[in-house]
Structure formats: structure tokens, C-alpha cells
Structure 1
Amino acid sequence: MDEILIGIGGGNIVLLLLAAFLIITVFRGVKIVPQSEKYVVERFGRLQSVLGPGINFIVPFLDRVRHKVSILERQLPTASQDAITSDNVLVQVETSVFYRILEPEKTVYRIRDVDAAIATTVAGIVRAGIGEMELDEVQSNRQQLISQIKQQVADAVDDWGIEVTRAEILDVNLDAATREAMLQQLNAERARRAQVTEAEGTRRAVELQADAELYAAQKEAEARRVSADAEAYATEVVAKAIKENGIEAAQYQVALKQVEALTAVGAGEGKQTIILPAHALDAFGDAFKLLKGKA
């Protein structure tokens, strides 16, 4: 009876061990990878595969998940490095870089400290880029410098399975002496611009005054021309009348002028007594005779 119980107990143990082995096998052979990670699998110390998000199957006891790598975008700590511009000005540049891992098998096997490696690469590229620019260009062409840094960093870290998503220059700082010199230069430039503006205003005022005088002269010349044309037309009419009517037209014009002159004398203020030459009245008579003869 005891032998039978021992036999039954030994069989249960075997079943339990077999069940435990199956559970462990399933546990080691099935891997569920989160959406934000990738797993690097090794077999006997060598790269076997890279597991993406979801359910994955590996060979139990032979394959092993050696690295769990996050594929989320990462930001390097803000770094500050000194650089010298092409016009020998020392500046302190603060940079920040964002990246993400695309191929974790390259990242884990080709570089030990990826953050430190990227930071060192960025520092060298920033110094080289600023060394090719003058200080004014660094301040005004910051976007161009950022694009250049991003492209060069992306090329440098391509072998590490990394994508540089953003590179930012947060600030460009100067020492106190350089800032003071730039402030003095800025004030001098403002004073120069003020003088230029004042000179431009004076020159413009002179030009406008000259234009006004020229315009007045042109209008005066036009008035004289019109007056001359009128006098010429009147002379032409008189000449034509003389030509057509002979001496009578000339006498009529002379008599008419005499009458107009006498009328102007009589119209003056305070002229109540008018002394006329003896032949002045004859002018009125001649004019009336001529008018009657024309009628």
C-alpha cells in the first residue's frame, strides 16, 4: 500500500515539474514590448533580433533580452560652451539638442554613452560654426547657424542609429567688456543715423524750395508768354484793320486811345477839375466820326 502511494506521489511531482517547465518556457519565449520601447535580443552573446512593440516570440533559454531601449524623443541637458568668432570675440553659447533612437542595435553596440557623445559632437560643431562668422552674423543669422548645427550633428550621429529632431541655440552671451564696447558702438551708430537723417531733411527742404521757385518762375514765364501772345494778336488785328481799311482804321485806333486816356484821368480820386488841351475834344469828335463812318 505504501509503495502504491509513493508511486502516485512521484507521478504528481513529475507533472508539477513538467507544468512548471512549460510555464517558464512560455514566459521566456513570449515577450510583450511596450509601444515606446524596443528590445535587443542576443543569442549566446551575439545580436539575434530587435523586437518591436506588441507580442513577440523568441527561442526560450537560447535567446535573451539584453537591452530595453526607449524610442521616445529625448532632450540633452542645456550645454554651455565658449567659442571665438572670426573677428576674435569670445562668446558663450547655450545649446539644446533633441534626438530619438531609431536603430537601437547600433546605439547599444557602437557607443557607450550616447548623451555625452552627442553633447561633445554639438560643442565641436558649434565652435567650428561660430569660428567662421563675425559677431554680427552670429546675432543676425542664428537660424542659419541652427540649421547648420542640426545637419552636421545628424551626419555625425548617423552611425549610432540616432535621429536629431531639433537643435536650438538658446542664448549667445558676451563678457562685460565686449558688451560695453558694443553699447558704445551702438550709441555712435544711432548718433550717426540721426545726423544723416537731419542732413537728408535739410537737403530735402532745399530741393523743395528750389522746386517751388522753379515752379513760380515757370508760371511767371507762362503768364508773360500769354500776355505777349495777346499783344501780338492785338497788333495783328490792328495791322489787319489798317491793311483792309487804310488810314481811317489807324486814326480810329489813335482817337480811341486818346479817349481811354482822358477817361482814366477823369476817373482818378479827388480829380474834380480836369484841364484838357484844346485839341483833346477834337479826339472825341474824330472818334465819333469814325464810328459813324464805320456804321
Structure 2
Amino acid sequence: MTIEMDKDNFRYLEEESLGKYRRMGKLVAAIGKLLCCVQVNQSTVGIKERFGKYEEVLEPGCHCVPWVIGSRVAGELTLRLRQLDVRCETKTKDNVFVTVVASIQYRAMEDKASDAYYKLSNPKSQIQSYVFDVIRASIPKLELDDAFLQKNEIARAVEEELEKAMFAYGYEIVQTLIVDIEPDEKVKRAMNEINAAARLRVAANEKAEAEKIIQIKRAEGEAEAKYLSGLGIARQRQAIVDGLRDSVLGFSGNVPGTSAKDVMDLVLLTQYFDTMKEIGSTSKSSAIFLPHGPGAVADIASQIRDGCLQASSH
């Protein structure tokens, strides 16, 4: 409770002090007027008139303006940099309605303060009119995409036109920017869909190229593997042939009356039984031999021999 009362008392004292300062300021101003003194603030100039006629520009500081002989300060003009944002709706060459947002930075020139004060009553409205005129003359010549690309050129054209027009009124155009070009909402959605489709198309092409490279590398790997496998099989068969040759020669030399044909028939019969043994050891084997039987081995052997003889005769 005590804290709240202290806050109320402090607020009351603060308001009372501010009231005193205001009253003192008014009193000083009244005394200044009686003494014919006026104050011009920094970054501001005063326009002095005598009996309604322009006399001179007052710079920042204290000045004596004898009101008793008809002199007075007609008004003040700020020299600070000001900014005006202008929104202009227009249509592009490809019939797209857009809103162009332009930002104009301007200020009154000190050496032409009288022109800025007397010649132009509403500089914002005048600047806006020139901006509308230039933008509506420039944008309809461009398509939407070109308008986005030539924002700087449009801003330069607006600035040049404003400089020529506003200099006569005592204003300097510091900078002109085309902040944004806003198409209609439907056009925005269509542009986003087009960009999304283009990005998806690029992604699909990149993915297809990647899959193509993977398949090529896989095929190269498979070809290399088959090549190496073929070399291995060829070497394996060569080793088998060498072993069979040595076995036939050894068997024929050790057993009198045995021909090479008898030895080959015996080897083929042995391989036949080894193959049947391997098939029988696997429960899920689906290999089928036609014709089936040991006698068929002799027929196969005779066919192989006949083929070799025919090949050698040719």
C-alpha cells in the first residue's frame, strides 16, 4: 500500500514538474516575441517575410525579427532527407497486372529554400504524379520477366525524370529505388507452379542420369566378372583335360591291351556316376538326364568322338 502511494506521489510530482517546464517555455517564447527574437532549429530553415513579402531565409540559430515593423517568420522548411513510398498499378506487355513499389528519397535544397516553400504546396503529391507517369510509360513495354530483370533501368528512368522536374521547385532527388514488383496473386501461384515443375524436371533428369551411370557401371562390372569367370572356367577345363590326358596315357601304359578308347569310356562312366551321386545328395534337385542309363554314356562318347573326327577332317 505504501509503495503504491509513493508511485502516485512520484507521478504527481513528475507531471507537476513537466507542467512547470511547459509554462516556463511558453513564458520564454512570449518574452522572445516581445524582444523580437525567434529560434530556428538545426536542419531547418526559416522563411522571413516583411508585410507578406519574402525577404530572406533564416539559418538555424537565434534571429531578431522585429514584428513591430512588419517582419515575421512565415514558416519553417526542413532540410532532412525524406522518403516517399509510391505504389503504382500497371500492366506488362504480356497482359499481367502488377503493382510496382517505388521508394523515393528527396530533400529540400538550402540554396533554393524559397522555391521549395513557395512554388510547391504538396511535394509528395507532385513526386507521386511523376512516378506514376514514368512507370506507366515503361512497364507496358516490357514482359513480366524482363520487368524483374530491368528494375534498375526503370528506377534510373524515374530518377532522371524526377530530377529534371523537382529541381525547378527546389528539391533534390537523392535516390530512387524500385523496391518490388508484385504480380497478381494468381500469377504468383502460376509462376511458383512453373518453377516447381522446372525443378522437378531437372531433378528427374539428374536422377535418370544417375541411374544410367549406375546401370553402366553395373554392366561393366558384370562383363568384367563374366570375363574373369570365363578365364577361370577355361583354365579349369584346361586343367581337367591335362589331367585326363595324363591319366589315359598312364593307364594305357600300365595295363597291356588297353586302348585310349577303353580308358575314355571308363573315365566317362566314372564321371557319370559322380554326377548321379551329386544329384542324389541334393533333395531339391531338378536336373533330368535324357536318355537315362549307363548305356547312354557310350552313345555320348561315340558322338563326341565322331564330332572331333569330323572337325579334324575339315
Question: 2:142 aligned to 130, 133, 138, which one?
Answer: 133
Aligned residue type for 1:43? R
Deviation of 1:105 after TM superposition, in Å, equals 0.7
In structure 2, the partner of 1:93 is: 100
Give the drift of 1:169.
3.6
- Say yes or no: does 1:119 pair with 2:119: no
1:157 partner letter: M
Match of 2:75 among 67, 72, 77: 67
Segments of structure 2 that go 5 or more residues without pairing to the other structure are 1-30, 221-241, 253-314
Is residue 2:71 matched to residue 1:53?
A: no
2:186 equivalent to 1:177: yes
Equivalent position of 2:277 in the other structure: none
Deviation at 1:135, TM superposition (A): 0.8
In structure 2, what is the Cα distance between the partners aligned to 1:25 and 1:177?
62
Provide closer, same or farther for how the CA distance between residues 196 and 128 of structure 1 changes in structure 2, counting only shifts above 3 A. farther
Deviates more, 1:139-148 or 1:192-201: 192-201
Q: Which residue of 2 aligns with 1:227?
A: none
SS in 2 for 1:157: helix
In the TM superposition, residue 59 of structure 1 has moved relative to its aligned partner by 6.2
* TM superposition score normalised by structure 1: 0.53
Identical aligned residues as a percent = 25
What is the alpha-carbon root mean square deviation over aligned residues?
4.1
Assess if the C-alpha contact under 8 Å between 2:92 and 2:143 holds in 1.
Answer: yes
Residue 38 of structure 1, CA deviation: 0.2
Corresponding residue for residue 238 of structure 1: none
After superposition, the Cα gap between the structure-2 partners of 1:58 and 1:90, relative to the gap in structure 1 and judged at 3 Å, is same
Cα deviation for residue 194 of structure 1 reads 4.2
- Corresponding residue SS for 2:35: helix
Q: Is 1:186 the counterpart of 2:192 in the alignment?
A: no
Q: Residue 117 of structure 1 aligns to a residue in which SS?
A: helix
1:146 pairs with 2:136: no
Residues 196 and 34 of structure 1, relative CA distance in 2, 3 Å threshold: same
Determine if contact 1:129/1:149 at 8 Å carries over to the other structure.
Answer: no
Q: 1:199: Cα distance to partner?
A: 7.1
Normalised by the length of structure 2, the TM-score is 0.50
SS at match of 1:153: helix
C-alpha distance in structure 2 between counterparts of 1:203 and 1:118, whole Å: 61
| Partner residue, 1:164 | 173
Contact 2:40 2:59 in 1 (8 A): yes
d(CA) in 1 for partners of 2:214, 2:183: 43
| Mapped contact 2:96–2:184 kept (Cα < 8 A) | no
Q: Distance in 1 between matches of 2:210 and 2:164?
A: 54
Describe the superposition over 1:179-208 as per-residue Cα deviations: whole angstroms up to 9, x where unpaired: 343234334433543465467668989999
- Cα gap change, 1:205 to 1:64, in 2 (>3 Å): same
> What pairs up with 1:252-291 in 2 under 5 angstroms?
273=250
Report the equivalent of 2:49.
42
Post-superposition offset of 1:36: 2.3
Rate the CA distance shift 1:198–1:26 in 2: closer, same or farther, 3 A.
same
Residue 69 of structure 1, CA deviation:
1.1
Cα distance, 1:168 vs structure 2: 3.8
